[in-house]
């Protein structure tokens, strides 16, 4: 059994706003699933080896769940950055280079969550 990521959760103050944001930025399939205001995220259809969910944040925003920062592999960090900003997010850390790994930037989504986008080097 692998220790790789299989599922992630994104807590939101406004689930519909977050859904619109992530569909626009990453083109994810995000469908209603389970209780009201709960959505399943499929990042790699049809394989579904990594899934996620959008859900209402538990507690007040400043007291909400604390967790890992996920970094998503992308083909163009700058294009993702432009899409993030155009859809209500913001840049937390501008694109920078990690030699031998790739180019990485961090963003803040519409719900105040931080995430990374990295264009990995080949190999």
Q: Is residue 106 part of a domain?
A: yes
**Domain holding 95: CATH number?**
3.10.180.10
Q: Is residue 35 part of a domain?
A: yes
Q: Is residue 16 part of a domain?
A: yes
Total domains present in the chain: 1
Three-state secondary-structure class, residue 53: strand
Look-up of token digits 């163009």 = 76
117-121: average pLDDT: 91
66 neighbors 57 (Cβ within 8 angstroms): no
* 1-55 pLDDT tens trace: 455 677 888 988 899 999 999 999 999 999 998 778 889 998 877 777 788 889 8
Q: Is residue 108 part of a domain?
A: yes
Residue range(s) defining the domain that contains residue 33: 7-57+67-120
CA 38 to CA 19: how far, in whole Å? 10
* 45-62 pLDDT tens trace: 777 778 888 988 776 555
Q: Is residue 28 part of a domain?
A: yes
Please report the pLDDT score of residue 4 as a whole number. 65
């Amino acid at each position: 059994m692998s220790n790789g990521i299989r599922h992630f959760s994104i807590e939101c103050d406004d689930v519909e706003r977050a859904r619109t944001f992530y569909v626009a930025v990453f083109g994810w399939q995000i469908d209603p699933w389970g209780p009201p205001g709960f959505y399943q995220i499929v990042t790699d259809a049809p394989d579904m080896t990594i899934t996620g969910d959008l859900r209402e944040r538990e507690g007040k925003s400043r007291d909400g769940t604390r967790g890992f920062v996920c970094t998503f592999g992308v083909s163009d960090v700058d294009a993702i950055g432009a899409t993030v900003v155009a859809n209500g997010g913001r840049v937390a850390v501008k694109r920078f280079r990690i030699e031998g790994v790739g180019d990485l930037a961090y963003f803040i989504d519409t719900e105040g969550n931080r995430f990374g986008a990295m264009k990995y080097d080949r190999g």
